Structure 1
Amino acid sequence: MGKERNAGEILGKANCLRGCVSGLDFMDDTVTDYEQALLHTGFGKFHYNLLALCGLIYMNTAIGVTIISFVLPVATCDFQMTSSDKGWLTASPMLGMLVGSYFWGCLADTKGRKKVLIATLLGDALCGLISSFSQHFLFFLLIRLLNGFNVAGAMGICFPYLGEFQPTKYREKILCWMEMFWTIGIIVLPLIAWGIIPLDIQFDSKDFTFHSWNLFVAVCALPSLFLGLWLFAFPESPKFLLEVGEPEKALSVLRHMYEKNTGEPQDNFPFTSLVGGKILPTDSVSVRRLKLRRPKELRLLIGEIWTQTKTLCTKPFLRTTILTCLIQFGLTSSYYTLMVWFPELFQRFADFEELNPGAPTSVCDVSSVYTVNRTTIEPDFGAECDSTLQQGVYRNTVIIGLACIPTSFWLPLCVHRLGIKFFLVFGLIAAAAVTIGLYFVQNAMQNLVLSCIFEALTSLSISTVYCVMVDLFPTNLRVMAAALSMTFGRGGALLGNLLFGFLIDFNCVIPIVLFAFMLAVSGLLCILLPSTGNEALA
């Protein structure tokens, strides 16, 4: 009995010692979790620079998505485009975005946010410059498809990349300020177009032509190049690094943030180790190190992507995944279609009112009259073809952008009081009512007023959806979830632009009613989304 008691005491002491040793990490003041370490980096210069970078990237995506709206009317003669051709041209970037959303999202959740952002920005710049020299409609359409492919990546990744550097108490408000940069993009684009397209640039030879709109496309490609190069100066997301099993690199980034924000040397950062993140076996290879050119590792990468995709489509994420995909489909199909077509509609109103001063007409009526008036010039697009853009089109598009400024301030200043779901539901339901109102306008001024309200409400909703996505999904699924929902959204935009291009001249009531219905349904679905904004970043 004495030997058994002594053995029991020894075993008990051994277990106590083992428990004490294993608990050392939790008693060590230099070991902490990600959220606490992030709070100790402070909030200052680094975060403001990062917001400026990500905001400019988001502004640049606004330019990339809407640039076609000014190409449509001014390149009509060069490419001999009909309304259906214009529908295909506006749809081509959406098709690229449909494919690119999930492709880049998968890479960003496996290879890293920074690498993929740089690749998409530089790819967008290259495609934009190539498209500016295009001499054939089909080639231009193909290159703009590739532009959309790259823009989708930048748009879907800049929000998670920015959000993963933010402490919980600042994250939602910082993300909401991104809406202001989108608004700036909407304002800047028509100003660039106004400054370049009216220029008398006419270089015509037997095999090559270059006009002012070509220069406009080239200039709009340059910001992507500069932003892609600037991004090299910023680190990878520390939350992502911790998630893929690289806590030392994550800690190095946090120390860098601490130095930039506080001015103190990195050695003064109080923590030397992070807990949490993905626990990888010692013989496991991080997916960040897998090479696409190696077949075996490519299969491992595809397997990881497939595993994460299945995770999104099973509980507890299935319901949220379905909701976000449906909301994106309804919102994006309406927003990107009407936004791209607004300059074309303004041009048609201006042409009609120039020929019929004071005569009332609706959006649908002016389009049908436009069809009758152009039938004599469409077959040969000869000397009578006029692709000059009315000055009022630039002015009206700038006004639309300026109309978004109040909602851009309203969102970040009131998001904590009203809740982010309020902005989604209110914005989408009100936008649906405004869309119906477009059918009843009687002149260009009424059309402009409703267009301003529509743009302000829907652009607010687009940015808010991206903010919500950061909180709804954990780090390893965040970009992929956003990409999946964006894929559905771009599919809706593709269908919307094709439908609008084919029906605007013949029966525009159908797309107007359909877009209003989808916006209303999206608004109602937002009520079912989980509440966000108070939890630590997973």
Structure 2
Amino acid sequence: MIKSIDIQLGSLRCFKACICLDFLEDLGSDYEDALLQAEFGKFHFLLLTICGLIYLNTAIGITIISFVLPTATCDFDMTSKDKGWLSASPMLGMLIGSYFWGCLADTKGRRIVLIVTLLADGICGLVSSLAPYYLIFLFIRFANGFNVAGTMGIVFPYLGEFQPTKYREKILCWMELFWTFGIILLPGIAWSVIPLQINLQFSVFTYHSWNLFVAICAIPSILLGLWLFSFPESPKFLLEHGETDKALDILVCMFIQNTGRKRDDYPCKSLRGPDRSNKKNGEKGIPNLRFRRPNELKILISEIWTQTKTLSKKPYLKNSFLTCGIQFCLTTSYYTLMVWFPELFHRFDDYEKANPGISASVCDVSSIVITNSTLSGCDSKINSQVFLHTIIIGIACIPTSFWLPLCVHHLGIKFFLVFSLTVAGFITFGLYFVRTSLENLILSCIFEALTSLSISTVYCVMVDLFPTNLRVMAAAMSMTFGRGGALLGNLIFGFLIDLNCIIPITVFSAMLFVSAFLCWLLPTTGTQALD
């Protein structure tokens, strides 16, 4: 009897929450109840799979340059400064692309922008593998970074807007595991392809194994972009833009896929649209992604400026400042060192071969190796130990990748951020004191495990900190600061690694401490429905 009453009351609550009644004012709870009635199952696991693979592909796209730097040295006749510019070029693309794609995703749709950026990234990757000259390769990798910025900034909001509150934080935290697999997979691909003896001579350039490696890493972007056509737009985004019927249809399809029941069994029959609106002059629905008239580009620029001003005012000013500061400090250290780790392993390997049994610091190794290589000529072969060490770094991230989603509800996201960034700051400073390649490997493993965890966790936090109409733009703004820091960091490291490497190491360590302090100031998240 009691169970029957509970079922009836549950159905009544769902009907009251979902039906379009004038006195209902809380859009968040309406959408939250509709999500709960769609249940959690097969659809969510498929969505997590494709979003996770997109994030894995992003990890490959961002760090692929780390294996191109040592292997393309001879083909492009690169100095350390040239390598610094090459490693910075994707970051410059991400710096510019973050805002552009962020505004499009908040005004045109998450799914369509994800598809466009994935396909464009894959095509640019294939083209870059055929680039005959350094400057051409540099420009195309800039275009890759421009597209990756859209993918990385949108995938977390897209995934998070399908999740009920009680699952959202944990599901988003599982994305860290996919990033880890990307960090492990990349050196595995490099190890299987780059050592191959490929030497094809064409009229303007030679095609070596590293060219094939770049092409192979570009293919997943195209495949994922095509697969994403089978997934729906975010119903939360559609609801925000007044497309209540389309949003409800998606929720019904989720219900059918999760439960195997019929369409009529879904208890929510309608959804109440939002009070706020992004539409102007009576415009209905979502604008097309294509710019058919010149004034549409002006409208886009105006929307970017409007959303930026909104994020720079109360009640969003504090969160915008904190997330931008965290991204700048964290990304400067993380992406710079991750891109340069294989190069540092390569230099340690060269030094230990030439000076067996003699220890030296990272700075000493760099200066000695560069001097010797200048005198002895160009050698772009990578020892197998470099690939193995990079794979070990990725494997070292697996424990923290499981630790985060399994313990996030018990310890809280702020704990993970503050703890991991503080320890990573000490580890970064400790790089100056290493004397062997083994010590360098151990510290690199700890650094990667903690900082990659922080990168993913910051994106999880931002899904909760900002409302639907500003969520991707807020992520884009913070990414702009982050990529600006990564650009600066790669340039600093490229210029100073051979001259005075204690300066960049100290700067990166200090930035991680600052980032940890800013994370401590963040509000608690993961307890409320999405706005």
- Matching of residues 376-387 of structure 1 within 5 Å: 376-377=375-376, 384-387=377-380
Per-residue CA distance 1:464-506 (angstroms, 9 max, x = gap)? 0000000000000000000000000000000000000000001
Secondary structure of the 1:33 match is: helix
- Tell me which of 84, 87, 97 is aligned to 1:87: 84
Q: Please say if residues 71 and 382 of structure 2, whose CA atoms lie closer than 8 Å, have aligned partners that are also in contact.
A: yes
Instruction: Tell me the TM-score normalised to structure 1 length.
Output: 0.92
Q: How far 1:298 moved relative to its partner?
A: 3.5
- Residues 1:399 and 2:392 aligned together: yes
Distance 1:408 1:41 in 2: 28
- Residues 1:437 and 2:430 aligned together: yes
- Tell me which of 404, 428, 448 is aligned to 2:441: 448
- Tell me which of 226, 231, 238 is aligned to 2:228: 231
Match of 1:171 in 2: 168
Letter in 2 for 1:254: L
Q: 1:287 to 1:335 in 2, by over 3 A?
A: farther
Match of 1:525 in 2: 518
Distance 1:187 1:23 in 2: 49
Match of 1:467 in 2: 460
Q: 1:160 to 1:442 in 2, by over 3 A?
A: same
Distance 1:330 1:155 in 2: 18
Secondary structure of the 1:203 match is: strand
Match of 2:268 in 1: 271
Match of 1:14 in 2: none
Match of 1:371 in 2: 370
- Matching of residues 15-26 of structure 1 within 5 Å: none
Q: How far 1:228 moved relative to its partner?
A: 0.1
Q: How far 1:410 moved relative to its partner?
A: 0.3
Secondary structure of the 1:376 match is: helix
- Residues 1:38 and 2:38 aligned together: no
Match of 2:122 in 1: 125
Distance 1:282 1:426 in 2: 45
Secondary structure of the 2:286 match is: helix
> Which structure has the larger Rg?
1
- Tell me which of 475, 487, 496 is aligned to 2:489: 496
> Which blocks of at least 5 consecutive residues in structure 2 are unaligned?
1-18
Identity %: 68
Match of 1:70 in 2: 67
Mean alpha-carbon deviation: is it higher for 453-462 or for 271-280? Answer: 271-280
Secondary structure of the 1:289 match is: coil
- Tell me which of 109, 114, 119 is aligned to 2:111: 114
Secondary structure of the 1:354 match is: helix
Q: Please say if residues 103 and 303 of structure 2, whose CA atoms lie closer than 8 Å, have aligned partners that are also in contact.
A: no
Letter in 2 for 1:387: S
Q: How far 1:23 moved relative to its partner?
A: 9.4
Q: 1:175 to 1:23 in 2, by over 3 A?
A: closer
- Matching of residues 90-109 of structure 1 within 5 Å: 90-109=87-106
Match of 2:343 in 1: 344
Match of 2:13 in 1: none
Letter in 1 for 2:448: E
Secondary structure of the 2:207 match is: strand
- Tell me which of 380, 383, 388 is aligned to 2:381: 388
Q: How far 1:267 moved relative to its partner?
A: 2.4
Letter in 1 for 2:395: L
Distance 1:101 1:482 in 2: 8
* Paired positions, count: 507
Match of 1:259 in 2: 256
Match of 1:220 in 2: 217
Per-residue CA distance 1:112-149 (angstroms, 9 max, x = gap)? 00010001000000000000001100000000000000
Match of 1:303 in 2: 302
Q: 1:393 to 1:25 in 2, by over 3 A?
A: same
Q: How far 1:307 moved relative to its partner?
A: 1.8
- Tell me which of 398, 409, 416 is aligned to 2:402: 409
Q: Please say if residues 408 and 460 of structure 1, whose CA atoms lie closer than 8 Å, have aligned partners that are also in contact.
A: yes
- Tell me which of 413, 416, 433 is aligned to 1:420: 413
- Matching of residues 175-194 of structure 1 within 5 Å: 175-194=172-191
Letter in 1 for 2:87: T
Match of 1:10 in 2: none
RMSD of Structure 2 on Structure 1 (CA):
1.6
Letter in 1 for 2:416: F
Q: Please say if residues 243 and 285 of structure 2, whose CA atoms lie closer than 8 Å, have aligned partners that are also in contact.
A: no
Q: Please say if residues 244 and 287 of structure 1, whose CA atoms lie closer than 8 Å, have aligned partners that are also in contact.
A: yes
Instruction: Tell me the TM-score normalised to structure 2 length.
Output: 0.93
Distance 2:427 2:142 in 1: 30
Secondary structure of the 1:288 match is: coil
- Tell me which of 456, 471, 482 is aligned to 2:475: 482
Q: Please say if residues 107 and 287 of structure 2, whose CA atoms lie closer than 8 Å, have aligned partners that are also in contact.
A: no
Secondary structure of the 1:165 match is: coil
Q: How far 1:24 moved relative to its partner?
A: 5.8
Distance 2:493 2:275 in 1: 47
Secondary structure of the 1:271 match is: coil
Distance 1:487 1:259 in 2: 39
Q: Please say if residues 202 and 210 of structure 1, whose CA atoms lie closer than 8 Å, have aligned partners that are also in contact.
A: yes
Letter in 1 for 2:469: N
- Residues 1:285 and 2:278 aligned together: no
Q: How far 1:33 moved relative to its partner?
A: 1.3
Distance 2:456 2:276 in 1: 34
Per-residue CA distance 1:370-411 (angstroms, 9 max, x = gap)? 12212225xxxxxx4211100000000000000000000000
Distance 2:514 2:328 in 1: 10
Distance 2:367 2:480 in 1: 33
Displaced runs of 4 or more, over 4 A: 22-27, 278-283
Q: 1:424 to 1:410 in 2, by over 3 A?
A: same
Per-residue CA distance 1:173-213 (angstroms, 9 max, x = gap)? 00000000000000000000000001111112442310100
Q: How far 1:36 moved relative to its partner?
A: 0.5
Letter in 1 for 2:215: A
Q: Please say if residues 396 and 449 of structure 2, whose CA atoms lie closer than 8 Å, have aligned partners that are also in contact.
A: yes
Q: Please say if residues 33 and 276 of structure 1, whose CA atoms lie closer than 8 Å, have aligned partners that are also in contact.
A: no
Q: How far 1:279 moved relative to its partner?
A: 5.2
Letter in 2 for 1:449: I
Q: Please say if residues 57 and 158 of structure 1, whose CA atoms lie closer than 8 Å, have aligned partners that are also in contact.
A: yes
Q: 1:374 to 1:287 in 2, by over 3 A?
A: farther
Q: How far 1:293 moved relative to its partner?
A: 2.2
Secondary structure of the 2:375 match is: coil
Distance 2:184 2:355 in 1: 30
Distance 1:91 1:509 in 2: 20
Q: How far 1:272 moved relative to its partner?
A: 1.5
Q: 1:456 to 1:297 in 2, by over 3 A?
A: same
Match of 2:321 in 1: 322
Q: 1:481 to 1:199 in 2, by over 3 A?
A: same
Match of 2:10 in 1: none
Q: Please say if residues 242 and 273 of structure 2, whose CA atoms lie closer than 8 Å, have aligned partners that are also in contact.
A: no
Distance 1:177 1:346 in 2: 30
Match of 2:145 in 1: 148
Letter in 2 for 1:319: K
- Residues 1:512 and 2:505 aligned together: yes
Q: Please say if residues 104 and 113 of structure 2, whose CA atoms lie closer than 8 Å, have aligned partners that are also in contact.
A: yes
Q: 1:474 to 1:282 in 2, by over 3 A?
A: closer
